[in-house]
Amino acid sequence: MSDTEKQVTPYEQFGGHEFFAKLVARFYQGVRHDSVLAPMYPAHEMDEAERRLLMFMEQYWGGPQAYGEERGHPRLRMRHMEFAIDAEARDRWLTHMHDAILEMNMQDSELENQLWMYLVGAAHAMQNIDDSPGSH
Ligand code: HEM
């Protein structure tokens, strides 16, 4: 690579701040109307939660590092322990993300798939209530 060639981050490939702000805003529109997920948030400011997820996503994909400056190490699994996340909550979270991604009408299907696969893995990692057969 020549010295003048710049490394393009995924953040830039996605479309930078505008892309992530729209994605997260659309996701939270879904969460606000979700009867399982919305009640998990009232103690918090929903707008603040939206801002934190936006900062995290931007940082994760190589954009501004504001999340770390404000919140420190993500330790997301630990931070989600206070919420009861079973398979239903996980799948609802993913459904709103899926809807939000589709609404972005991404041209690059490989990039779209990369985003989706990351979120599927992360959402499964965040589940903290076992739903193994016989547990009901
Ligand atoms: C699986 C279902 C999930 C549920 C039900 C859930 C729910 C929540 C709730 C209720 C909060 C607290 C709101 C706040 O104060 O910010 C939160 C915070 C957060 N969530 Fe999730 N979440 C899920 C999955 C995920 C995933 C997959 C990611 C990342 C890809 C994520 C990233 C975050 C971040 C960055 C915060 C803010 C953490 C902080 O700095 O305090 N969440 N989530």
Judge whether 73 and 60 are in contact, CB under 8 Å. Answer: no
- The mean predicted confidence, pLDDT, of the chain is 93
Cβ(22) to ligand 1 under 6 A? Answer: no
Between CA 12 and CA 28 the distance in angstroms is 22
| CATH fold of 12-126 | Globin-like (1.10.490)
* Token digits of residue 108: 């690059």
pTM for this prediction: 0.93
CA–CA dist 68, 62 (Å, integer)? 12
CB of 98 within 6 A of ligand 1: the answer is no
Q: Residue ranges per domain, the chain?
A: 12-126
- Rounded to whole angstroms, the Cα distance separating 95 from 101 reads 10
- Could you identify the atom of ligand 1 that is nearest to the CA of residue 41? 10
- Give, using CA atoms, the residue closest to atom 20 of ligand 1: 53
At 7 the pLDDT is 84
Is residue 122 within 6 Å of ligand 1 at its C-beta?
A: yes
Per-residue pLDDT tens digits for 46-77: 899 999 999 999 999 999 999 999 999 999 99
* Pocket lining: 100 vs ligand 1, CB cutoff 6 Å: no
By the 8 A CB rule, do 93 and 123 touch? Answer: yes
For 73-95, what is the mean pLDDT? 97
